[in-house]
């Protein structure tokens, strides 16, 4: 299942993602992964979740993010939740490739809760992205 939190900067998306991530890490019987751009969440996310900085792995577009998430899923079958903060920023703001990536992620993340924050005003959001809100 893919769920997106969409809104402008300062609308509380990251705060919601932190709460969901920490709750999942405390209740999940499997692994919880939190992906971010930079290292701003290292004091916010519980140690029970795996926190990964995309900058450390040169993830800079939608294809790279898809491959990164696919690799994480392929390496650990116990993953129950993946949280991605600033997903559109990670892919360089390219909404068309982000939308295509969502379709590919949907095909490989059947048993995983995949939650992403996307900083884009709702009225500017393409329908293919709105479908996951």
**DSSP secondary structure string for all residues of 66-112:** HHHHHHHHHH-TTEEEEEESSHHHHTTT-HHHHHHHHHHHHHH-TTS
Give the total number of structural domains in the chain: 1
C-alpha angle 89-116-9 in degrees, rounded to nearest 5: 55
- Predicted TM-score (pTM) of the model is 0.94
Domain hosting 22: range is: 2-130
Output the domain CATH number for residue 96. Answer: 3.40.50.300
Residues 6+ apart with CB under 8 A from 124: none
Question: What band does 86 get if pLDDT is binned at 50, 70 and 90?
Answer: very high
- pLDDT of 8 > 90? The answer is no
């Amino acid at each position: 299942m893919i769920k997106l939190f969409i809104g402008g900067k300062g609308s509380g998306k990251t705060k919601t993602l932190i709460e969901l991530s920490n709750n999942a890490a405390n209740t999940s019987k499997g692994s919880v992964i939190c992906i971010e751009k930079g290292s701003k969440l290292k004091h916010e996310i519980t140690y029970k979740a795996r926190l990964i900085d995309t900058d450390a792995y040169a993830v800079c577009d939608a294809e790279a993010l898809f491959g990164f998430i696919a690799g994480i899923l392929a390496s650990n079958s116990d993953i129950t939740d993946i949280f991605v903060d600033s997903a559109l920023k990670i892919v360089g703001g390219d909404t068309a490739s982000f939308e295509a990536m969502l379709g590919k992620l949907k095909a490989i993340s059947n048993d995983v809760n995949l939650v992403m924050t996307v900083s884009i005003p709702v009225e500017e959001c393409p329908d293919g992205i709105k479908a996951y809100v």
